[in-house]
Amino acid sequence: MASIVGKRQGGKTYFYLVESARVGGKPRIVSQRYLGSAEELAARLSEAGPGEPDRTRHLAFGDIAAVWGMLRRLKVAEIVDDVVGPRRADAGASVGAYIALATLNRVVDPCSKLAFEAWWAKTAGDRWLRLEPGALDHRRFWDAMDAISSTQLKEIERRIVANMVEAFGVDLSGLVLDMTNFATYIDSANPRAPIAQRGHAKQKRNDLRIVGLGLIVSTDGGIPLVSHAYPGNLPDVTQFGPMVNELVTRFQGLCSDNRALEPEQLTLVYDAGQNSNDNYELIDGSPLHFVGSLPPSDHPDLLAVEKDRYQVVDNERFPGLVAFETTKAVFGTQRRLVVCHSEGLHMKQSQGFDQTLAKVNRQLGDLAERLARGKTRKVKEKVQAEIEGILRPRWCSRVISTELTGESATDLRLSFQALPEARAALEDELFGKRILFTDHENWSVAQIVCAYRSQEAVEADFRQMKDVKVVSFSPMFHWTESKIRVHVLYCVLALMVARLMVREADHAGMHLSVRELLSTLAGIEETLMLYQGERGRPRARRMLTEIDPTQRRLYDLFNLDAYAPKR
């Protein structure tokens, strides 16, 4: 039962809202809330209201609350704690809470664990996640990360993915596999992070150690389903086997829980970089179907097929695309092949080749001028090697003719010219062509093409993870193997959350990118107004900023009312 009572202190009466209940058969006050003095209550009840606040603060709310709601639906903290075990007695929070917080930060505003506490203080998150003082110290995060073993990491991801598929009804029939790597700033002499090695850096940072990451994502929303971190010096093709084995293990269990989906319905799509005899022996022995591709230059007999063999695939879905079907022994088995020619791809390749040729012509021209001035001391063999280096970019040596005359350094002269007929033959032979192959015997050509083009889903995921503003893998402020692998886990979880949010918005008719979605949600802020009374701590009132129609739709979609301040 609630009532208002007054208490005399220092010759003045102060009022409290109290709630009483019987405890052990006796009436007791179980809660009380300070209301203020009589003058303060009168001011608050007057038309003027409580008056102007002494100060205000603006806190991040919309994006924080929406992401936290998704993490709760995915049961991230609960699953991590169930796998890892109970928290330590001296821990500020459970391991699952720390992983959920790290994931939240990666989605909306990636920063180091050292900067996390300052960032968290600028959000409204402390209203729904109460933490002990000092719980957000960066060392507490490190302790939590060290508590997770590599075996537990895999189990955590398996359980979260299983829960996600059930909770969000993600279609598993279309799967795309690809790999990339991320540059780190780990010291070359650091022996505690063998996963970070120098290799083929796809970000062109050959001076840095890199970490490889493979993903298998759904074509339904580009949602990551399997992740695999590996040393950056290993070729991608060698990591195909572990990822496929994990995929089969994981999704056979999911399919057994979902009788509407059988493992044989899963189709894995990947590019030619994964081609090897061992990998196709593995695929052929698995329940998976596949759609892959072959390097066109390895099959000149297929490229030489006359144009009248090509037929229009689907003008409405794939304008400018023609193709023909055939069979051929590939990787030890007779396979169904589809040879495609795309006018759009042809045009882009031609434009790109023009830019390459322009650069090559400039370099050859500079070399010819230098030789004409007699300003070289190189012997003829060295100059010829330099010419070959300039012509090394793909196809250039086929369409540019060079002639180096003279014997001594001062007598060397270079002449070069374009070969229009060779260029036309090259375009006719290679440009715009792809060779796809699959074990799907009953699929139409359009279905095969559509499946192969779904690779854009995983490519978009990798681009997103290299966006330093939101859902970012970098910067990574960890220098040991175990912490790097945990970092990979919560970065992949951040990508999962972001893609699920975009998917939910898309189903609601709002077609937004990850950045647009998070930016729109971030516009919903919480205002904290502080009123200093005559004594004690200031009273606080909270309210949300004004929101526009799009923000209102997202507010309702992600049920932000559950986290909004109550007035």
Dihedral (Cα; 346, 348, 350, 352), 10-degree rounding: -150
pLDDT at 260: 47
Contact 471, 494 (CB under 8 A): yes
Name the residue ranges covered by the structural domains of the chain: 1-51, 292-450
State the DSSP code for 198: -
Whether the Cβ atoms of residue 332 and residue 277 lie closer than 8 Å to each other:
yes
Dist. CA 178–CA 176, nearest whole Å: 7
- Contact yes or no for 98/141 (Cβ under 8 A): yes
Rounded CA gap, 219 and 451, in Å?
9
* Residue 141 contacts residue 116 (beta carbons within 8 Å): yes
Full DSSP string of 123-175? BSGGGTS---TTTT-HHHHHHHHHT--HHHHHHHHHHHHHHHHHHHT---SEE
Q: Calculate the CA dihedral of residues 144, 150, 155, 161 and round it to 10 degrees.
A: 80
Q: What confidence score (pLDDT) does residue 36 get?
A: 74
For residues 72 and 80, what is the distance between their CA atoms, to the nearest angstrom?
A: 12
- The pLDDT tens digits along the chain (567 residues) read 678 888 888 778 888 877 887 776 777 776 777 777 777 777 666 655 556 777 888 999 999 999 999 999 999 999 999 999 988 877 889 999 999 999 999 999 999 999 999 999 999 999 999 898 899 999 999 999 999 999 999 999 999 999 999 999 999 889 999 999 999 999 999 999 999 999 999 888 888 999 999 999 999 999 999 999 999 999 999 999 999 999 998 887 666 555 445 656 789 999 999 999 999 999 999 999 999 999 999 999 999 999 999 999 999 999 999 999 999 999 999 999 999 999 999 999 999 999 999 999 999 999 999 999 887 888 999 999 999 999 999 999 999 999 999 988 888 999 999 999 999 999 999 999 999 999 999 999 999 999 999 999 999 999 999 998 999 998 888 999 999 999 999 999 999 999 999 999 999 999 999 999 999 999 999 998 888 766 667 778 889 999 999 999 999 999 999 999 986
Which tokens sit at 562? 């559950």
What pLDDT does residue 41 have? 72
Taking the C-alpha atoms of residue 410 and residue 279, their distance in angstroms, rounded to an integer, is: 55
Q: Which residues contact 321 (CB under 8 A, 6 or more apart)?
A: 312, 313, 314, 340, 341, 342, 343, 449
Rounded Cα distance between 153 and 144, Å, is 13
**pTM of the full predicted structure?**
0.87
Count other C-beta atoms under 10 Å from residue 71's C-beta: 23
